[in-house]
Structure 1
Amino acid sequence: MLKHNFWQRIVCEITLVLIIAAILGTVFGRVWLVITIALLVLILYYAYQLQRLSYWIWQQNNVYPSTGFGALNLLFYGLHKRQRRQRNKQNELANIIKRFRHGAESIPDSLLLVEDNGAITWCNKIAQNELNIHWPYDKGQNIVNLIRYPQFADYMAKRNFSQPLTLLFRQQYYIEFRIIPYIDKQWIVIARDVGHLYLAEKQRRDFFTNASHELRTPITVLKGYLDMLADDMISAEDYQKTIQTMQSQTNRMENLIEQILALSNIENSPLNKTMQKVNVPAILHNIEQDIKQIYPHYLVSFTIDDQLRVIGVKSQLESVITNLIYNAIKHTPDGTAINIEWRHVSYGAYFSVKDSGPGIASHHLNRLTERFYKVDDARFIASSSSGLGLAIVKHALLNHGNTKLQIRSKLTEGSQFSFVLPEQYIDHSNDI
């Protein structure tokens, strides 16, 4: 509305000055002289205001212009209003850029903006750490010069980004590069660590390879004996022994399949629906009675806190305890001393199985909980271990507060397998 009144204000101001000058000129008898002087003063005032405006535009650092009087004040006010709108737009744009950068920093992948010629214009912190980009010193550098892999250079040169490119980066981890067109001949480069996917795929291949190998042996034995029985090649004296061998191999396959299913159930079980009170002392006392009857030649001692009960998945904790105890018996010779502890410590519920057997070489320790991993040792030959027991233990413990299985062993000095369930898993309902 004010912009339409500017010329009206100018005309009114000039008219008012002329009227006042005419009145004063009449009083002093110098009408034209006074009018001329009044017009000159008005022109000088307008020139002064315009000079102030010019000084603000080109030299002054103030955000907003100074105010004036009269019609020119409309110009100052209009500039002030336009400047305020411009400042608000700049603030909105700055907030948008800030939110964009915050969002880009929140993305769990490396993110870079590059020009069509490969020059880097921006990158997030993950890209700086993961791709070893030194920001802002590498701003403007060609991305091919910083990611020095021939496959990546060819990928950028071909400009065919329909499929991602995966590289083994620094011989440590796999990085998948995806390049997406942006604006003004710019590209968004997304680099994602996909090492866990390669590891999962490797574990899947290894699992099927090892499972097939473990099942092939008993199946081959069974097939051989069945062919011999079909051809009447087994004598009456060897018949019972053959049946026992076939039963043993069948039991071996059944045990392997049960352990595979148990491991699968542990990895996929909904824990929040299956947590319950677990009477660990009762489980240990039952195992103690069984060992006395089945393995009388082992020196097995139990130290049990009968008041220490926990909250957890009963089937999984029972599997953990059973596997650790019977592994110690299975993989040590007769007469071995085995000490089993279940007690309350300052940071949780402590369980330990310690034996005085031949021990395990240090280079095996980090791999003992891998699926189907077996120590190539003469003392394991007699056992029918599937290599899944400790894998079951590991995953079952991870389901209980991310508990870790601790393994300590030295050759000729025995082994110790232990874990501590966190304090929040202890059942205090029976406390006095």
Structure 2
Amino acid sequence: MRYGVRRRLFVVSMLLLLVVGTASGVVLERQLRSWLEARVDRELERIARTAATMVHVKAPGGQDVAQLPRASTTVDGVSVSIHLRRRDTSNLREALASDIEVAWAGGIGHTRRYDPEAGGFVRSVAVPVRGVDGGVVAVVRAATPLAEVDAAVGTLRKTMVAAGLVGLAVAAFMSWLASTLAARSLRSLASSAARLVHTGGEARVTGGNAHELAHLAGSFNALADRLRTALDALAAERDQLEAVLDALEDAVVIVDADRRVVRMNAAAERMLGVEAVDPNTPVVSVLRSADLLECIGRLASGGDDAVSLSCELPGGRHVVARVEPLRGRGGAVLAMQDVSDRVHMERARRDLVANVSHELRTPVAIVRTNAEALADGALEDPAVARRFVDAIVRNAERLGTLLEDLLDLAKLESRHASRTMSRTNVEIESVAQAVVARLAPLADKRGQSVVVDVVPPQLAAYADRSALDQILSNLLENALRYGDDGGHVWIRARVDEGGVVVSVEDDGPGIAARHRSRVFERFYRVDEGRTRAAGGAGLGLAIVKHLVMAMDGTVEVDDRPPRGTRFAIRLPSGPAGTGEDAGTVPEEA
């Protein structure tokens, strides 16, 4: 059974009072008895000496007292006896009368003995009686029972017991009161300390009026202040670490020894496609890479060597990862860098080299073949020579167009190159009509019709006129080249939220959904054979995309029900006072 502080203090105080009271009573009783018996000894010695002076008085009948073998009398309860000769002390009872032997030896004997006849202890004092020659001729002993001493001691004992009980009751009350107050102060101190723990050092500990408890409370408060300072420092470091982790572009995942997520930064959540992962979530539920899970499991279980590897996450994301072990408590830290753009750029670079080589190979081969034919004698036949020369000129123009498109695209894609655009409020209908007029021979050749529909007719976009002309030209040329003979093409422009939407639509064969996300890539062809037959190089839509982006716009491709394709360009509408005759605003592409 566990006792509270108040009960413990009370019990200890009562035990201490009982021990001290009992010890004090015993000591006091012994001191009193010793003092009373010493007083009795002095009185007995006085009586014995008085009796010794009367030894030479004649007894009745004329006989000298000194000649009597023994004489005794009782005065006021004191027994006085005279011993004229020394007896043999071999007897036990006589041996107990050591006071007489001491007196015969010339001293004063004191004895405390039990006397059965008196029914209690007796105190006796023996003094010597000396003769003319100075020798001891008799011994006078005075003895008295210690009943009065015992009565006095008993009365004292009763008084002490009564006083002790009263004092014990008072002391018990005072001890209970003191222990209650002390326990109350301690409970207050404990309650304040508990609040100190729950509030993280914000609360204050009070110790009451007691100096010691107040000092202890002050120590608690000082400790709380230091703890609060340490906690604030830790919180600041934690927040700083959280900010650093969230600011990192690389994904970081911290895993404990049980392979559960401890911390995951925002980049990791974005990379893995998860949101607000709870602590203690198994890492296998958020990370879908067998290679990474194997490395994390090995290092979290006590492995010492860091591991670096490249892998592909679900969804086609390529990452370079490094797994470091957590020393001491176990676990691992996974850092991942998304290199998908780098992988795609490398792949695009290889594709570009392959595509450019492929695109250049055919016209160069035709030019070379026809030139060799002319050199081998075809010049002698004017008709044949004319056909070879036309082929050389046609493929040379194709090479020139391809190179110009490549240079334009390189300038648009370069981060270090800039293209100065004169952006103004350009009327869309005028640009569209100019493009239609320029491509009319191609439309007439295939029996196709082109309709320009701009509402309102004065609708303008904030754009560079030459860039908008090239965009519409590339889109209209694609629609005419890849559309059906006798088909229809529409150039439409409408006001939309925050800008202008310009679309080029046709009723041709359309573009399958699986190709739409890639039609703006360089040299990408939906139908390889058909594109080559139409004479395209696969760069027109890529140029359109970069020109639109340079003017802060967007471009997208979709179906045109019931049949055909729709390219939609969203451009910003210009501020007032920025018409085509209002000046130019230089911007970097």
- The one-letter code matched in structure 1 to 2:290 is Y
Aligned with 1:82: secondary structure?
helix
Matches within 5 A, 1:18-417: 52=185, 56=189, 61-63=194-196, 64-69=204-209, 71-72=211-212, 73-114=214-255, 120-124=261-265, 127=268, 130=272, 135-136=277-278, 138=280, 149-150=290-291, 153=294, 156=298, 160-161=305-306, 164-170=308-314, 172-180=316-324, 184=328, 187-232=332-377, 235-236=380-381, 237-268=383-414, 274=421, 276-277=423-424, 279=426, 280-292=428-440, 295-296=443-444, 297-304=447-454, 305-345=456-496, 347-376=498-527, 380-409=531-560, 413-417=563-567
Asked if the contact 1:309–1:427 (Cα under 8 Å) also holds between the matched residues in 2, the reply is no
Q: Which residue is equivalent to 1:8?
A: none
Asked if the contact 1:178–1:190 (Cα under 8 Å) also holds between the matched residues in 2, the reply is yes
Asked if the contact 1:168–1:174 (Cα under 8 Å) also holds between the matched residues in 2, the reply is yes
Relative to structure 1, is the Cα distance of residues 49 and 119 closer, same or farther in structure 2, using a 3 angstrom cutoff? same
Which has the larger Rg? 2
What CA distance in whole angstroms lies between the structure 2 residues aligned with 1:355 and 1:171?
A: 34
Greater shift, 401-410 or 118-127, is seen at: 118-127
What CA distance in whole angstroms lies between the structure 2 residues aligned with 1:323 and 1:179?
A: 49
Q: Which residue is equivalent to 1:28?
A: none
- The one-letter code matched in structure 1 to 2:424 is K
Instruction: Describe the superposition over 1:373-413 as per-residue Cα deviations: whole angstroms up to 9, x where unpaired.
Output: 223277545321011111211232233334122332579x3
Relative to structure 1, is the Cα distance of residues 388 and 427 closer, same or farther in structure 2, using a 3 angstrom cutoff? farther
Q: Which residue is equivalent to 2:11?
A: none
Percentage identity across paired residues of the two chains: 22
Aligned with 1:344: secondary structure?
strand
Relative to structure 1, is the Cα distance of residues 151 and 180 closer, same or farther in structure 2, using a 3 angstrom cutoff? closer
Aligned with 2:254: secondary structure?
strand
- The one-letter code matched in structure 2 to 1:267 is E
Relative to structure 1, is the Cα distance of residues 190 and 361 closer, same or farther in structure 2, using a 3 angstrom cutoff? closer
Relative to structure 1, is the Cα distance of residues 47 and 149 closer, same or farther in structure 2, using a 3 angstrom cutoff? same
Relative to structure 1, is the Cα distance of residues 281 and 327 closer, same or farther in structure 2, using a 3 angstrom cutoff? same
Normalized per residue, the structure richer in strand is 2
Relative to structure 1, is the Cα distance of residues 398 and 361 closer, same or farther in structure 2, using a 3 angstrom cutoff? same
Asked if the contact 2:261–2:280 (Cα under 8 Å) also holds between the matched residues in 1, the reply is yes
- The one-letter code matched in structure 2 to 1:335 is G
Asked if the contact 2:304–2:325 (Cα under 8 Å) also holds between the matched residues in 1, the reply is no
Deviation, 1:244, is 1.1
Asked if the contact 2:521–2:541 (Cα under 8 Å) also holds between the matched residues in 1, the reply is yes
Instruction: Describe the superposition over 1:214-257 as per-residue Cα deviations: whole angstroms up to 9, x where unpaired.
Output: 11111111222233334335652311111110111111111111
Deviation, 1:352, is 2.3
What CA distance in whole angstroms lies between the structure 2 residues aligned with 1:56 and 1:335?
A: 97
Greater shift, 396-405 or 151-160, is seen at: 151-160
Relative to structure 1, is the Cα distance of residues 104 and 358 closer, same or farther in structure 2, using a 3 angstrom cutoff? closer
Asked if the contact 1:152–1:165 (Cα under 8 Å) also holds between the matched residues in 2, the reply is no
Greater shift, 313-322 or 121-130, is seen at: 121-130
- The one-letter code matched in structure 2 to 1:165 is L
Relative to structure 1, is the Cα distance of residues 232 and 50 closer, same or farther in structure 2, using a 3 angstrom cutoff? farther
Aligned with 2:371: secondary structure?
helix
- The one-letter code matched in structure 2 to 1:105 is D
- The one-letter code matched in structure 2 to 1:122 is R
Structure 2 spans left out of the alignment, 5+ residues: 1-169, 197-203, 581-589
- The size of the alignment, in residue pairs, is 387
- The one-letter code matched in structure 2 to 1:175 is V
What CA distance in whole angstroms lies between the structure 1 residues aligned with 2:221 and 2:314?
A: 57
Relative to structure 1, is the Cα distance of residues 113 and 415 closer, same or farther in structure 2, using a 3 angstrom cutoff? closer
Instruction: Describe the superposition over 1:301-346 as per-residue Cα deviations: whole angstroms up to 9, x where unpaired.
Output: 3234542222234443222111111222222355333222234345
Asked if the contact 1:348–1:426 (Cα under 8 Å) also holds between the matched residues in 2, the reply is no
Aligned with 1:370: secondary structure?
coil
Aligned with 2:533: secondary structure?
coil
What CA distance in whole angstroms lies between the structure 1 residues aligned with 2:495 and 2:218?
A: 78
What CA distance in whole angstroms lies between the structure 2 residues aligned with 1:319 and 1:400?
A: 13
What CA distance in whole angstroms lies between the structure 2 residues aligned with 1:378 and 1:427?
A: 48
TM-score, L = length of structure 2: 0.56
Asked if the contact 1:342–1:350 (Cα under 8 Å) also holds between the matched residues in 2, the reply is yes
Relative to structure 1, is the Cα distance of residues 414 and 133 closer, same or farther in structure 2, using a 3 angstrom cutoff? closer
Aligned with 2:554: secondary structure?
coil
Structure 1 spans left out of the alignment, 5+ residues: 1-36
Greater shift, 248-257 or 346-355, is seen at: 346-355
What CA distance in whole angstroms lies between the structure 1 residues aligned with 2:575 and 2:495?
A: 9
Asked if the contact 1:275–1:311 (Cα under 8 Å) also holds between the matched residues in 2, the reply is no
TM-score, L = length of structure 1: 0.73
Aligned with 2:377: secondary structure?
coil
